[in-house]
Every structure is written in structure tokens, then in C-alpha cells.
Amino acid sequence: MQLSRKAQRTKTVLVAGGAGFLGSHLCETMLQAGWRVICVDNFLTGRMENIASIADRPDFRLIKQDICRPLELGEPVDGIFNMACAASPPRYQADPVHTTQTCVIGTLNLLDLAARNGARFLQASTSEIYGDPEQHPQKEDYVGHVNCIGPRACYDEGKRTAETLCFDYLRMGKADIRVARIFNTYGPRMDPADGRIVSNLIMQALERRPLTIFGDGLQTRSFCYVSDLVDGLIRLMEVNPNPRQPVNLGNPGEFT
């Protein structure tokens, strides 16, 4: 990656939610690329075992903190990936207010940190911001078909607001931001109880239970392997010039 950085200093990236499924893979990849990594996680859904293989490295720093509290790092950073917030419906619906706070207050705190450091910022958003789409596939300029008061709205609307904040900071010249709308991702370390389609079907198959298919079974999903997703995140973070719009990240092929 070619993020701007001061000379004579090891480049440092902060990964919020770095002990989670996606975040832990991102931390590993950044370390392999020669970056110093600061992982921030409150461990509501993140797990120590996800980062066990890198926890003792001298170029890895772990901060156990909720991003809803402002971060005081005591050192500069060159890039920030905001991967924080539970993406599993049972998890984020268990405490919907905190989910919204993480998306809004947490993102604000990290954007302010990026602004103070002159760091490039990437927001992990979601295809869920399209709601129950009436357009297939969804292009980035599709505004969605959404329910702002339903039981899933804490996550969907929280992520939409996070996107708004990012582009407000960009337009105001306060931060150089990127927004990735992530589609269904699978791979090692995914939570088998996260309540989403891939984990549900895998667990049902392993337990020799009938596979649950809702509706007529004609619904389609875009499934992306985690290493491909991480590669896409890094490419988006380093791309120049700034795309100045959200970017969908997922498999272009859809499956029923």
C-alpha cells in the first residue's frame, strides 16, 4: 500500500474490529505486507483466538476498547480501517442501540482520529444498506428499498449514516475516505452461529439436518471468500485518485 506517511517512521495502520472475522484476516495481511498494526476491539463479537497467531509480534499492538469512546493512541497512524460493528443479525439485534452507536459515534471518533493524523480512512459498509432491493444486481448509485424502523434498521441505517459521515468529512476536506459495501463473505474464523445463510447451511449440513430455504429458493446472493475480500479492501484503500463514491466489494456472480 502507498498510503501517505512521514519519512523515517514505520508505517502504521489501525484496524478497528481487528479481532473479528474480517478484521483478523486484514490484520494478518497488513503485517505480512510489512505494516505495523494497531488492533482495536471491545471483544463483544471479536475473539482472542482469531488473533492468537499474531498477538505476540512486536509489530502488533492490541487495544481493548470500544470505539464509542475516543481513542488516544500516543502514536501516529497512516491508515484506519473501520471494521467494527457486529454484522450478525442475532448479535446486532441483541443490543440495537449500541449497534447504532457503534456505527455513528464510533465512526465519528475514528474519522476525527484520521483527521488529526492526516490518515487515509476506509469504512467497512454493507450491501444491507440497499435494504430489500428491487434492483438486481445493485449498482452503487442505487438508493435502495429500505425500512428505517424495522428490527434490522439499527445495522442498516447505522451503516448508511456512517457512509454519510464519511462523505461529509471528504467534502469538507477533513479526511481522505473510502467506503466499501461488503457482500456475503465466508471463510476461516466465521462464526458458525452468526445467523447468516452460509454458516446456517454449513452447520445444518454438518449436523445432518434439513437445509432451510426460505421462500421459493430463487433468491440470489453474492458470496466472496475472505482473502479475496481483504485483497479488495486493501486495493480500495490504496487506489488513487479517490473514487469519491462507495464501492461494492463481492463476487460479481450471484447464486441461488
Sign of dihedral through CA atoms 236, 24, 207, 126? Answer: negative
Q: Are 45 and 20 in contact (CB under 8 A)?
A: yes
Tell me, what amino acid is at 99? T
60-64 and 221-225 strand pairing:
unpaired
Please state, in angstroms and rounded to a whole number, the distance separating the CA atoms of residues 23 and 67.
14
Residue carrying C-alpha cell 464509542: 68
Q: Are 214 and 256 in contact (CB under 8 A)?
A: no
Residue 155 annotated to the active site: yes
Contact residues for 148 (Cβ-Cβ < 8 A; gap 6+): 156, 157
The catalytically annotated residue of 92, 155, 186, 225 is 155
How big is the CA angle at 89 (ends 183 and 104), to the nearest 5 degrees?
A: 80
Please, how many CA atoms are within 13 Å of residue 126, restricted to the half-sphere of its CB? 26
Q: Are 96 and 154 in contact (CB under 8 A)?
A: yes
Look up residue 52 and give its three cell numbers: 492468537
Residue carrying C-alpha cell 505495523: 36
Q: How many CB atoms lie within 10 A of CB 80?
A: 28
Active-site amino acid positions: 155
